[in-house]
Amino acid sequence: MEWGAVIVAAGRGKRMAAADNKVYLPLGDRPVLAHTIEAFERCAAVSRIVLVTAPGEEARAETVLRELGASKVSAIVPGGAERQDSVYAGLAALGTEGALVHDAARPLVAPEQIEACCREAERHGAAALAVPVKDTIKIEGEKGFMTQTPDRSTLWSVQTPQAFLRADLMRAHRLAKEAGKSATDDTMLMELLGRKVAIVQGDYRNLKITTPEDLPVAELFLASRRRED
């Protein structure tokens, strides 16, 4: 199966409270986005990439790609108001049978993790990286009070990439739009199709850069990764 990747980089980074879009912030010797693209460039299972950028950021994205020497990016398309809209815009431009969806804000994913997602999705129809939850999770009932505790042994913190048959995922997105259903990730949309998603053991270092304290942590993880290479 031919695999393409939609890499979404069109957010506003509100929780980062940075002056710039967080995917262009420096991590090590290059922008966050460069690390993310490089992981997919190095994964042989991925034949093409569609990059989804904030409207008007196409030129700066192209600069990052040029400096990286990226060769798999087949299109740069503008994202939408919500992550879901950005994913759909990328899927529409992808064209491959297999579709990976990945957050540009997750720069430390390893190529072998991407490959594992593809393989498991080929076996099961859909797959996503996830890591076991470490904290005890509570559900808020009455405002400001914890009232329920899900069984932690059944809880996973899902990451990206998430891997699907592109046709399935586009259909799920259309169903969600018709139903006015919002989704913070794409595995959630598979539930609309009644499909299960295979869990692929991820790595706690595949963090999503979301709030300011995530960047120094990512620097440490990057340094540890480089010592391993």
Ligand X SMILES: C[C@](O)(CO)[C@H](O)COP(=O)(O)O
Which residue bears the tokens 């490959």?
115
Residue 208 found at the interface with ligand X (CB under 6 A): yes
Cα(20)–Cα(10) distance, rounded to whole angstroms?
A: 12
CB of residue 105 to ligand X, shortest distance in Å = 7
Please, are residues 13 and 208 in contact by the beta-carbon 8 Å criterion? no
**11 lies in the site for ligand CTP, by CB under 6 A:** yes
Q: How far is CA 128 from CA 18, 98, 144, in A?
A: 29, 13, 32
**Minimum separation from the CB atom of position 54 to ligand CTP (A):** 7
Q: Amino acid letter at 179?
A: A
Span interacting with ligand CTP, options 42-50, 101-109, 136-144, 217-225, rule CB under 6 A:
101-109
The window from 114-122, 146-154, 155-163, 170-178 that contacts ligand X (CB under 6 A) reads: 155-163
Q: Report in angstroms how near the CB of residue 116 gets to ligand X at its nearest.
A: 17
Our finding on whether 203 is near ligand CTP (CB under 6 A) is: no
Residue type, 57: E
Q: Which is nearer to ligand CTP, 85 or 122 (CB)?
A: 85
Residue from 185, 189, 206, 209 touching ligand X (CB under 6 A): that is: 185
> Of these, 149, 184, 201, 224, which contacts ligand X (CB under 6 A)?
184
The crossing angle, in degrees rounded to 10, of helices 58-68 and 32-41 is 60
Provide the minimum distance between the beta carbon of 158 and ligand X in the complex, in angstroms, as a whole number.
5
Restricting to residues 50-89, which ones interact with ligand CTP according to CB under 6 A?
52, 79-83, 86
99-121: b (≥16 Cβ within 10 Å) or e: bbbbbbbbbbbbbebbbbbbbbb
Among residues 41 and 103, whose Cβ is nearest to ligand X? 103
Q: How far is the CB of 87 from ligand CTP (least distance, A)?
A: 7
Supply the minimum distance, in Å, between the C-beta of residue 35 and ligand CTP.
Answer: 12
Contacts of 39 (CB under 8 A, 6+ apart): 107, 108, 109, 110, 111, 114
> What does residue 7 show for φ and ψ, rounded to 5 degrees?
-110, 115
130 φ, ψ (degrees, to nearest 5):
-155, 155
Dihedral in degrees, nearest 10, Cα atoms 156, 160, 165, 169: 80
Which of 124, 171, 205, 208 forms a contact with ligand CTP (CB under 6 A)?
A: 208
Residue 185 touches which member of ligand CTP, ligand X, none, C-beta under 5-8 Å by kind: ligand X
The residues binding ligand CTP (CB under 6 A) are 8-16, 23, 52, 79-83, 86, 103-105, 208, 210
